[in-house]
Structure 1
Amino acid sequence: MAILQLLQQHGLEQFYMDWILPRLKERRTVGITLAIALLYALHRKITTPPSYLRHLPVLGFYSFYKAILSNVTVDQYSKDVCLPVMLKSPGAFVRPTVGFWTIQLTDPIAIKQLLTKTDIFPKSELNQGLTGTLMHRFIGGENIVMLNGEDWKRHRKIANPAFNRAMPVKLFGELTATMFKTMEETGPKIDVLDLFSRITIDTIGKAGFGFDFHALENKNNEWVENYDSIKEGMLDPFFLVFPFLDTTLLNWFPKRQQIHRKLDKFLEMLGGIIEERRASLKQAKLDNSSGNSVDVQDRDLLTLMIECEQSENATLSNDELRRNLCIFFLAGHDTTAFTLAFMIYELAVNPDMQDRARKEAIEILGDDSQDKLPTIEDTKKMTYINAVMKETMRLHNPVLNTTSREATEDCYLNDIFIKKGSLVCADILDVHRNPKVWNSPYEFNPDRFLPGGEAEQHSSSGLSWIPFSSGGRICVGMNFSLVEQRVVLSMLLRKYTWKLPGDSIHANGLKTHGVAFGIISTKDLNIEFEKRY
């Protein structure tokens, strides 16, 4: 009872009721461990930032954890928790994370300096989480996101040309046409996040490593269910706050063990595909043939990366390839699905913008009563559609901040002092909503991104729009995602009109969550579609 009273004092009782109490019923000894962990978490050393960070405004330990553990919406977190602290700062504030504190940059000039000085600000190993946890096993280790120095350059040397060559526009269109069949079978009211999660998992499976998940045809198949369990497991706030329970004490949680076994199977599947692909390409070389009659832009990323090993004079082990595929899978599936869902919502509640975007799609693709698959040249003409996409990623960017960098020396970022050893990241959520940077930042206004618009005026002074990060470590899949979004949205605009149902939980604003893990999601985003042909 003493622990519960302490939690109530700091507003964390809901976390206890939702995440701790159910697990106490699984095994009594867990209660003792959790009691010790909670008391440790409340210790002053954990709840107070280091002295070398106290020159900046601080988002308090209890304010932050109360927000993430009570599952507040991203809008509430941004307006009620971050904004009051951000307005006190010169472009940065200090925020707790699980086990450490980070400097959150919200000034575009400081962000530009951070993201371009990769030698002074390498990626921190803390981004990967505790070794052995579900998160670390899926996104940690030697991959293009987490590595630094020469190892990172070796990975980038192979991934960059692979992504530059791979632009399967035809595949994007064909899967969108398949998605239309799924929509017809589902009915007029559709959960768009579920729908886009299915098309993007099929897209990254085929375009990434030549595997068909058949998610559009059957969302309940084994592979889709396995991945969904893994993703939900990584987002579990309980194990994010207490990661040690996800490793050495894992046998206390049978359900968690089951998710780890599903990850074992998923990783084994990827490993098998890599071995088979290497063997087939090697045999093709021995046979003095290309081994692949598919056009370069339509080949999957795995094939292109293996082929690039020779042309770029660099190699990746099978384990490194597998770890990169996991990163590409997470980034190429979830973030693109969320962005598409949020775009559909904004166009549903802004019908004039929807009509304007549809007019552009029809001007480019025609208004015939049949599906039209855009070409790469078609996608380059979609000026307003592109502005809708960019404004969606500004207001509802799926990722809250960049991965943390660790300062290797004392320095300044636009007059903000950074002590050696400090963890620093670009706060994507808050720079995108910074009232010192954007006019009416909580208003959805695609015109910002039209030629001569507000966004164009920002570009010379710093980085105020960074959904894919920037600099040398900009997301390698940026163009892949943008083209996929243009294809899906333009085809949807020609085929359907849509609106938000009157009884939607999002009627008074989009309710998004995900502050704990840093990737924004939502639920029950049902939209009513009506066919145009």
Structure 2
Amino acid sequence: MLLWRFVGRTNVILSNGVNWQRHSRVVKSALNRNVPIEKFASLTKRLFSVMGDGGRLLTFSTTLTEASRFILCLLSGTTALGHDFNTIVDNHSPFVAKYNEVMDSIASPLFLVFPKLETWFPRKHVIRKIDDLVNDFGKLLEDKKQRPGNDMLTYMLEEPEMTDEEFRDNMVVFFIAGHDTTAGAMSSFVYYLSKHPEAQVRARKEVVAALGKDEPNIENLRHMPFLQACIRESLRINTPIVSCLSLMVILSPILRAIIPDLCSNGKSYHIPAKASVIMNICAIHYNETYWPNPYKFDPTRFMNQGDGEEARIDASLWLPFALGPRQCPARNFAMYELRTLASMLLQQWEWNLPADSPHHDSIKNGFSPFALSLPKDMDIIFRRVEQ
């Protein structure tokens, strides 16, 4: 599969054993250095300057998923890789265009269904594009060595434990995660608040009470439990990644002993050693036993009814970032990114779906061979909130 040629196998997602422990240690150390909320806010303001200026009433219609990709590309590029791809001002950024072209080529349904075709009929033009893009990431890495900054890649480079190839492969993984998964999450959040104006109004009141005219920071974001609940509910209903990477079963007998406790029908299942197991996240997020009326958008699931504060949910039931040692290492980074952008959107904008939206009855995701939930061709109308 050509995807592995692009992302490599020497990164925090695909490595195993001692190598994974080493990658995880370096990546988590870099991510825990600081959460650049001020940078998130600064870049979000750049987005707003393109959407409209002043306090005038303005209608802004855009294909939301593509816009979110450009926005999150800028955010992740600047804060994680320390490189400004300038995608807000120039949505035809050559680097991003090359990335999208490579991902679309890799995602050819015919070659995904019949992977042997890659061996029989190698797509040399796609391979050249992939190698060219990988070289571009290598150039970014070399540039960062010469010009360090206040970003995650700089912090990682301070650790001597990884090779240049490993640094580069992790850069590719971070770029994909920041470009597509977070964009899908943001698109879903905006969609559900457009479909539920009462939730949008409540979230906006909470944001305005916490922020006033200030920008988000670590402290005032703590005073937005309903906003957090809206984001978490959006991630539950339309989780950006619908299944976890396959895990290889090493000790079959242990799995057989555990399985009866996991199966709702009480049966046990023999899972052969070395078989791959993929967890279906959507099946968990829509399980009526744990999520009553699971297809309903209800942020209050994540709030205590008495005091209106955030409720504690069993971690094994809400899995947009997976769970356990192999969960997404950038979980907190991504959530602060989403909360910052969402709070600033609510502070300054209101929005709704166009009357003729194909998403009027339900959200519709496009085809994704990588198990991503990305709303397809979604237009949203934004208007300035009167100050």
Tell me if both proteins adopt one fold, taking TM over 0.5 as the criterion.
Answer: yes
Q: Deviations over 1:107-163 (max 9, x none)?
A: xxxxxxxxxxxxxxxxxxxxxxx3xx1x11123311111111111111111111100
SS in 1 for 2:278: strand
Decide whether the 8 Å contact of 2:70 with 2:88 is kept in 1.
yes
Residue 360 (structure 1) aligned with residue 232 (structure 2): no
Is 1:332–1:477's contact at 8 Å kept on the other side of the alignment?
A: no
Please tell me whether the aligned partners of residues 226 and 263 of structure 1 are also in contact (alpha carbons under 8 angstroms): no
Native 8 Å contact 1:143 1:320 kept in 2: yes
Q: Residue 509 in 1 paired to residue 377 in 2? A: no
Q: 1:234 to 1:166 in 2, by over 3 A?
A: farther
Deviation at 1:236, TM superposition (A): 2.4
Q: 1:496 is matched with which residue: 325, 349, 370?
A: 349
Unaligned runs of 5+ in 1: 1-129, 252-256, 282-291, 293-298, 310-314
Call closer, same or farther: CA 1:280–1:530 in 2, change over 3 Å: closer
Residues 163-242 of structure 1 correspond to what in structure 2 (within 5 A)? 163-184=31-52, 188-242=60-114
Residue among 166, 174, 187 paired with 1:328? 174
Counterparts in 2 of 1:280 and 1:218: CA distance versus 1, 3 Å: closer
Task: State the Cα RMSD in Å.
Answer: 2.1
Q: How does 1:53-452 map to 2 (within 5 A)?
A: 130=1, 133=2, 135-184=3-52, 188-247=60-119, 249-251=121-123, 257-279=124-146, 299-309=150-160, 315-366=161-212, 368=213, 372-410=214-252, 411=254, 412=256, 413-415=258-260, 416-417=268-269, 418-451=271-304
Larger Cα-atom Rg: 1
- 2 CA distance for matches of 1:414 and 1:379? 40
Work out the percentage of aligned pairs sharing the same amino acid: 31
Distance of 2:63 and 2:145 partners within structure 1 = 39
Distance 1:276 1:529, change over 3 A: closer
Q: 1 CA distance for matches of 2:126 and 2:238?
A: 29
- The runs of 5 or more residues in structure 2 that have no matched partner are 261-267
Distance in 1, Cα, partners of 2:77 & 2:313: 37
How many Å separate the matches in 2 of 1:210 and 1:260? 27
Question: Given residue 404 of structure 1, which amino acid in structure 2 is its aligned partner?
Answer: S
Q: What is the TM-score when the length of structure 1 is the normalising length?
A: 0.66
Normalised TM-score (structure 2): 0.89
Is the 8 Å Cα contact of residues 187 and 375 (structure 2) preserved in structure 1?
A: no
Partner of 1:8: none
Take 2:165 and 2:103, find their aligned partners in 1: how far apart are those partners? 20
Cα 1:171–1:514 change in 2 (3 A) is same
Q: Is the 8 A contact 2:322 2:328 kept in 1?
A: yes
Q: Report which stretch shifted further, 408-417 or 149-158.
A: 408-417
AA matched with 1:334: D
Q: Secondary structure at the match of 1:165?
A: coil
- Separation of aligned partners in 2, 1:246 and 1:381: 52
Contact persistence 1:162–1:308 (CA under 8 A): no
1:526 corresponds in structure 2 to 379
